[in-house]
Structure 1
Amino acid sequence: MPIVNRIAEFGPDMAAWRQHIHAHPELGLDCHQTAAFVAERLREFGVDEIHEGLATSGVVAIIRGQGDGPVTGLRADMDALPMQEETGVAYASTVPGRMHACGHDGHTAMLLGAARYLAETRNFAGSVALIFQPAEETIGGGRIMVEEGMMDRFGISEVYALHTDPFADAGEMRTCPGPIMAAVDDFRITVTGKGGHAAYPDSTRDPMPCALAIGQALPTIVSRNAPALSPVVVSLTMIAGGTASNIIPETVTLGGTVRTLDPALRDLAERRIGEIVAGQAASYGVSAELDYQRSYPATINHAEQAEFAAGVAREITPDVVTDLAPEMGAEDFSYMLQARPGAFLFLGQGKGPSVHHPKFNFNDAIAPVGASFFARLVERRQPLRT
């Protein structure tokens, strides 16, 4: 079965909604205008309940089907990124330094499309909870919504999400059981010595050699501590210290990120960074402080739900990949999958500029594919009794 005909009919509406959101990007938890736009559309569709203000600006809408049944959650993120747009499209960002460079405008439009169809047809038992979430790119609006009790409040039994994929052909859907995206941690290391004149290093405790030694040692966590085929990333991305060629600085700072799929390897990386920092500081006679912050956990699909979602995807598109290799990017949908069974899938939009690139732009042509997937998923998961 291809794209749902009724959803295809309002494809132009989804494009218009998406382009409106694209032109008015908002950041973090402050997605109030986007949330108001979403709520206005949902009222037009005649959904049964609209709950606003979750995680500051999140929205959950409930559509009741026919008769008793479970509640399936469908999630879309709404926030943009703090970067300058370079697409040149007529509906480009109207806010300097902000743009929808990760497809969240498209995710929101697709879920609105599914909402319109489901509110019209109600060809399912139980209910569907439409989750419009802020702050995926920053502090984890998904985490906040879960911590606020969203799953229990709305009786959500399973949860699903889509993310646009500029590395796959338009309409191709990709997923896998188990880990699909990585956990993300950030670290900052401050090495402190005793500054002074660079011509008299013996009168100082130079923090620079220690900082360089730490930077050289960090990659050994991957090459010498983790199993050879384990997906682990330890990236040093920042180093700062000194103001002039003849001054030995008092402090040098380093920073970076760690990406893992296995919780045990996550623990290993944190432990080894701490050991390297302490050991090198002792070796060079300086002090060093590690600030290690754990952020989003790995996004881990539940096997049964991933298989089910892939089956639904095959009804919409012939191009479905079910053995996708996990990616080392991160997603705060991980918190929802920790709270409830479910699955996360990628929807190809055609190969082009990557997400988080100033020329990225969501492909409106795939919106009916995503909306059809969401709608069919609810109908297949919660069929009417005959």
Structure 2
Amino acid sequence: MAVINRIAGFADEMTAWRRHLHMNPELGLECHETAAFVAAKLREFGVDEIHEGIATSGIVAVINGRGAGPVTGLRADMDALPMQEETGAEWASQVPGRMHACGHDGHTTMLLGAAKYLCETRNFAGRAVLIFQPAEETIGGGRIMVEEGVMERFGVDEVYALHTDPFSAFGEFRTRPGPIMAAVDDFEIHLTGKGGHAAYPHDCVDPLPAATAIAQAMQTVVSRNTNPLLPLVVSVTQIHAGSAMNIIPEKAYLAGTVRSFDPELRDMAERRIGEIVAHQAAVYGVEGKLDYQRNYPATVNHDAQVDTAVRIAREVAGADHVIDDIAPEMGAEDFSYMLEKRPGAFLFLGQGVGPSVHHPGFDFNDAAAPLGASFFARMLERHPAKG
């Protein structure tokens, strides 16, 4: 593997940065201490511009190269998850109920490592626009940064991102042209009947039969309404009702998620879920209310930028450690909003097989950080100059 020598030389510093971030996780848009740490490092490195407070706590930093060239956006997410850590590491989270369980501490560290190197060398044409965003795990900090105009304000031509991958071998880059991660929608269903004593069901309107019927009927959205060659997931993940064995509850609640790639399929799933809720509620004589929330769109890579990213990944990791035709995944990413605005590519970087992301035992592999930083740095250095 061809990690840049200078980046390898400060790998221990990167480990220290990452572990500091891991010990101090923040949630959603409120990544203020994380942002302050990032901004302090960027000033220490000597970036040309630092713009803070974007999407509440996001940062955009600009590093000017030598002469005219493309403006390349490089993105890292900063937020953690509301989970209790169970790694047992010396650098485990110091904040109860919060942990970096998705590797965003590592993503931020990789981009900081690239920033340090690029500021020292300036061996590239054009400009590097480094995007440190909050709230990937919640309301879509990437969407907010796009809505606040970061692509236009900083003249970004292309944009790239990495995500750590605990499901593949260490140092393996994985990507694909076209859809790589799914659109995500969430739904909540509120059913209201008439509660009462369980010994007198005829005096009640029980929402539980309606809840179970709706949950079962939803499975037909995939099995009977969808072309079996097209990927779609409809998952009911919560059903809540009742408080005692001898009480028929007044209300029942269901919730879940929908994952898709095709916009027409996404529309169909929303429509059919609405029809199922309305008609099953009517059948069982209860009131049914559906709250359907469209969240992140599908993450769709652009062909030319995937070609560029794959070429650079092969230089960094070796051809045997780059896979450019992986199957799309049903997880979701708010980097999708940036790819809707600008051409670019999203890649996974293997950190060795271990506990899954969003698992209390997950921890970013610090040995992967110099690889990611080298990829980001080479992305700038290998772009051709304009004119």
TM-score bracket for this pair, using the shorter chain length? over 0.9
Are 2:17 and 1:21 aligned?
no
Does the residue aligned with 2:157 lie in a helix, a strand or coil?
strand
Moved more, 202-211 or 151-160: 202-211
Cα displacement string for residues 139-178 of structure 1 (whole angstroms, at most 9, x for unaligned residues): 1111100000111110011100000000010100000011
Q: Deviations over 1:208-230 (max 9, x none)?
A: 11111001111111111111122
RMSD, aligned CA: 1.1
Alignment of 1:153-232 (within 5 A): 153-232=153-232
In structure 1, the residue matched to 2:265 is 265
Query: What is the Cα deviation at residue 195 of structure 1?
Result: 1.7
SS at match of 2:224: helix
Correspondence 1:334 to 2:336: yes
1:1-386 matches, within 5 Å, as 2-318=2-318, 319-383=321-385
Q: Percent identity?
A: 71
TM-aligned CA deviation for residue 200 of structure 1: 1.9
TM-score of the superposition, structure 1-length normalised? 0.98
Contact 2:69 2:386 (C-alpha < 8 Å) held by counterparts: no
- Give the secondary-structure state (helix, strand or coil) at the position aligned to 2:382: helix
Cα distance in 1 for residues equivalent to 2:240 and 2:86:
30
CA distance in 1, matches of 2:178, 2:54: 28
CA distance in 2, matches of 1:92, 1:196: 49
- Equivalent residues of 1:123, 1:383 under 8 A apart: no
Structure 1 position 308, deviation (Å): 1.2
| Further displaced range: 244-253 or 109-118 | 244-253
Do the aligned partners of 2:296 and 2:333 also contact (CA within 8 Å) in 1?
yes
Query: In structure 2, what is the Cα distance between the partners aligned to 1:294 and 1:50?
Result: 33
Structure 2 CA distance, aligned partners of 1:211 and 1:89?
43
CA distance in structure 2 between the partners assigned to 1:172 and 1:191 by the alignment: 47
Do 1:124 and 1:384's aligned partners in 2 also have CA atoms closer than 8 Å?
no
CA–CA distance in structure 2, aligned partners of residues 247 and 366 of structure 1: 55
For residues 235-256 of structure 1, what are the alpha-carbon distances to aligned partners after superposition, in whole Å with 9 as ceiling and x for unaligned? 1111111122222111111111
Indicate if the aligned counterparts of 2:68 and 2:385 stay in contact, CA closer than 8 A: no
Q: In 2, are the aligned partners of 1:60 and 1:129 still within 8 Å (CA)? A: yes
Gaps of 5+ in 1: none
Deviations 1:49-104 (A, max 9, x none): 01111111111100001112221000000111111111111111111111111100
Asked if 1 retains the 8 angstrom alpha-carbon contact of 2:68 and 2:386, the reply is no
TM-score by length of 2: 0.98
Structure 2: 5+ residue runs without aligned partners? none
Q: Give the letter aligned to residue 348 of structure 1.
A: G
| Separation in 1, partners of 2:312, 2:150 | 26
> How many matched pairs?
385
**C-alpha distance in 2, partners of 1:108/1:285?**
52
Give the deviation of 1:369 after TM superposition.
0.6
Instruction: After TM superposition, give the deviation of residue 378 of structure 1 in Å.
Output: 1.1
